[in-house]
């Protein structure tokens, strides 16, 4: 039995830092460039970058310089296989664009064909509203009004009434 070797997971910021250094930026400059991303953005890009990097590796492509056609193919495949919404696919595009070398003088995410692709995704899968439904507070208040007098309520009903009133006043 040979010991199993753990393959390290792609790390978005480390990979981008390596690309900066390969482009000739000194380590100090690379550190400052990497510091420009907030922790939340770094975390948000981690999963999409990992998926992109694995997809490229399985096709013998470099995630930093893959052809635009392959980037759009990946975005199409990931969108279809995971039923991703427009907003999530936009995060994938942004993460890839940050690590991808410019095409000529243009960042990947700003290429007209990539913008046109994202516009197509937007039209085919428009973002759903953040709040898919709302409810009428008046109905709740009318129901709570029927729960009087407080002395005649069970402890459970009184607790639920209090919780509802607290929820209404704390928002």
Say what the pLDDT of residue 20 is. 82
Contact 127, 85 (CB under 8 A): yes
Phi-psi region of 53 (alpha: psi -120 to 50; beta: other; left: phi over 0): alpha
Q: What is the DSSP letter of 147?
A: S
- Please tell me whether residue 162 adopts helix, strand or coil conformation: helix
- Please tell me whether residue 160 adopts helix, strand or coil conformation: helix
Query: Is the omega angle on the peptide bond into residue 91 within 30 degrees of 0, that is, cis?
Result: no
Q: Which residues contact 37 (CB under 8 A, 6 or more apart)?
A: 13, 45, 98
Contact 111, 68 (CB under 8 A): yes
pTM, 2 dp: 0.68
Separation in Å, CA 62 to CA 65, 70, 87 = 6, 11, 25
Say what the pLDDT of residue 17 is. 86
Question: Tokens 């992109």 label which residue?
Answer: 52
Taking the C-alpha atoms of residue 171 and residue 163, their distance in angstroms, rounded to an integer, is 12
pLDDT of the chain, 171 residues: tens digit per residue: 444 444 456 678 888 888 788 778 899 998 999 899 889 988 999 999 999 999 999 999 999 889 999 999 999 999 988 888 899 999 999 999 988 888 888 999 999 999 999 999 999 988 877 776 777 888 888 888 888 787 788 888 888 888 988 988 887
């Amino acid at each position: 039995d040979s010991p199993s070797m753990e393959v390290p997971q792609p790390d978005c910021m480390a990979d981008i830092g390596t690309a900066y250094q390969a482009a000739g930026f000194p380590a100090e400059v690379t550190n400052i460039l990497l510091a420009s991303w907030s922790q939340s953005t770094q975390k948000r890009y981690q999963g999409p970058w990992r998926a992109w990097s694995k997809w490229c590796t399985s096709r013998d492509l470099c995630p930093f310089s893959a052809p635009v056609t392959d980037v759009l193919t990946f975005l199409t495949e990931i969108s279809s296989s995971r039923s991703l919404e427009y907003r999530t696919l936009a995060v994938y595009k942004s993460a890839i664009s940050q690590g991808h070398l410019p095409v000529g003088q243009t960042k990947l995410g700003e290429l007209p064909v990539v913008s046109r692709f994202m516009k197509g995704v937007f039209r085919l899968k428009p973002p759903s509203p953040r709040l898919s439904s709302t409810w009428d507070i008046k109905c709740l208040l009318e129901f709570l009004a029927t729960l009087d007098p407080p002395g005649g309520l069970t402890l459970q009903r009184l607790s639920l009434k209090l919780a509802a009133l607290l929820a209404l006043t704390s928002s």
